[in-house]
């Protein structure tokens, strides 16, 4: 994975990286991808992908009303909040 790809993926991931991390990760992620490439030696034609090993289908329950988290509890851990609202830098000018 070259530095440009690492930079692109970091942007997609919303993680800023220092120049030093960029170089370090570029080498390490390349090694890992080279290792992963061994999967290409396996013929998987006709094999169905498996996302969940122990499949549970239609997990339904009665729709019983119950108390849920209060607004005070929900915002209590926010780095910054005003009353019932999370506070962030302006999104619209």
Partner 1 sequence: MDLLCATAVDVSRMVASGEISAREVARFFLDRIQTIDPKIHAFLHVDPDWTLSLADAVDAKRAAGKPLGPLAGVPVALKDILCTKGIPTTCGSKILENFRPPYASTCVEKLLAADAVFVGKANMDEFAMGSSTENSAFGPTANPWDTSRIPGGSSGGSAASIAARMALVAIGSDTGGSIRQPAALCGVVGMKPTYGRVSRYGLVAFASSLDQIGPFAANVRDTARTLSVISGRDERDSTSIDAGVDDYEAALTDVKGLRIGVPKEYFAEGLDSEVESRVREALDVLKGLGAEIVEVTLPHTSYAVATYYIVCTAEASSNLARYDGVHYGYRKTGTPDIIELYSKTREAGFGPEVKRRIMLGTFVLSSGFYDAYYTKGLKVRRLIKQDFDDAFKSVDVIAGPTTPTAAFRMGEKVEDPLSMYLCDIFTISTNLAGIPGISVPCGFTSGGLPVGLQFMGKVLDEKTVLKVAAAYEQATNFPTMPENL
Residues at the contact surface with partner 1, assessed by CB under 8 A: 1, 5-6, 9-18, 21, 24-25, 28-29, 31-33, 35-36, 38-40, 42, 44, 47-54, 56, 59, 61, 69, 73-74, 76-80, 86, 88-91
Token pair 């930079």 is at which residue? Answer: 7
Residue 73 to residue 45: CA distance in whole angstroms: 51
Q: What one-character-per-residue DSSP string does 44-78 give?
A: -TTPPP-S-SS----------------HHHHHTT-
Q: Is 85 helix (H, G, I), strand (E, B) or coil?
A: strand
Closer of 65 and 69 to partner 1 (Cβ)? 69
Residue 16 C-beta: closest distance to partner 1, Å: 4
Residue 65 C-beta: closest distance to partner 1, Å: 14
- At 36, list the tokens: 């992963």
Closer of 50 and 83 to partner 1 (Cβ)? 50
Residue 12 C-beta: closest distance to partner 1, Å: 5
- At 75, list the tokens: 């915002």
């Amino acid at each position: 994975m070259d530095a440009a790809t690492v930079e692109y993926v970091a942007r997609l991931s919303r993680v800023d990286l220092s120049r030093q991390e960029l170089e370090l990760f570029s080498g390490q992620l390349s090694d890992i991808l080279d290792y992963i490439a061994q999967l290409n030696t396996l013929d998987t034609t006709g094999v169905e992908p498996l996302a969940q090993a122990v499949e549970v289908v239609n997990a339904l329950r009665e729709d019983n009303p119950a108390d849920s988290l209060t607004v005070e509890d929900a915002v209590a851990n926010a780095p910054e909040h005003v009353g019932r609202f999370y506070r962030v830098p302006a999104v619209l000018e």
